[in-house]
Structure 1
């Protein structure tokens, strides 16, 4: 099971969370202040941190920013009162996975922790796959069946131009291989930038795609170049496009129509020159 850290100055709430998650088999650590919580966080490296927004020596948002700056691992779930909704939203922008309102609903919190652990597991698996893929000597499509020959023909046809492309097919059938083949036959010397739309939480994905300006939101301590900009004159591959948040789909549609975009918090229009391949 997982290691959880509870940081809450409410003794009763802290004890309730300890007992609830220990009953599920998790190893639970608990602190009541930012200083104590940070020490436990560094020492035990928990997978999930349940962090109260208001603490005696500061705010949970302060600790979240420190953790981000110091690359402390773990997924943060904020605990907040209804009156702190605006600050909770800011905390989400700073990297929190989710937030739960007080009074606590243990069933709701358990579901949220399970989602956080599933997300963490997926993220680790993706990192393993990416590492294995980086050692692959070749990513070419292998096969001589009529269907594969037709796929090769289609790759050749679409590689002649720069039209945006949607690749459909069941999971595991090689949609990214096809996307990489199209890129290799059209703009091999330009970047191929993959984005897994389901691997990033919506609050982070907009910044990953568009980039952001320093000060765009709490925690944005420096300018960030997004994937749209990194793609240059090459290919932006949007995998699992159907999982993309609807508001981001609207913004991407505008990018495809106008061929320009702005960083989060920015006002300067930047040209978008890459081909988009979605799957």
Structure 2
């Protein structure tokens, strides 16, 4: 693979945000935008998971864009109307029964969601410049990055809209605004582990129930590994009880949601009409 570093994808008042783009030697078929974890307080686009994921994705024919996004964003960074909406959404998230930190639902989360949307828009608009075959953009997010990704797929109505990806994979993540789930959302997959003390497994059960009630094209998988960071290793190395690699589950989702595929509408119909949720 070849690497193009430090590509500015958006200019914010506080800082310019950049991505590193990993490209296969053959023509990429689509783009994966990667959002690191760190609780919206820390983390970098060169975190330990990036290189193994970049190698695997480029080997499979994807362009892989690992992004920086704003960290520790205070409420004061937003105007008064948006501050009110962020507070209201956080209160609603807490009342929904989520067992996770309030800081994962506040202003830093909202800033990351907007930045991730800007990265998706950038890669969709610039894909031809790197000879990427389609404008399809999928998002893979770990922990906080996955939280931002899932809320990009199912955005709240009281905050600014931004560019949505074609599909989302959340690794050790949570859907912190479950009331936003709807049949028209972006098809998404959550891969979670057991014994996760950061984002507890009951959050996955909560969103699974909410997705079923809302008929949303989101499904969850629990892997056998333990710990908050385990889903990354499971994605790269493990299989489910039927012998299907978790990587294959993700590939089926991405392939169905590619703009080269005619299966996207069928995917959504299947996912909301069959229980238990089918494989993508």
Shorter-chain-normalised TM-score: which range? 0.3 to 0.5
Structure with greater helix share of residues = 1
Greater RCO (CA < 8 Å, at least 6 residues apart): 2
Greater Cα radius of gyration, structure 1 or 2: 1
TM-score, L = length of structure 2: 0.39
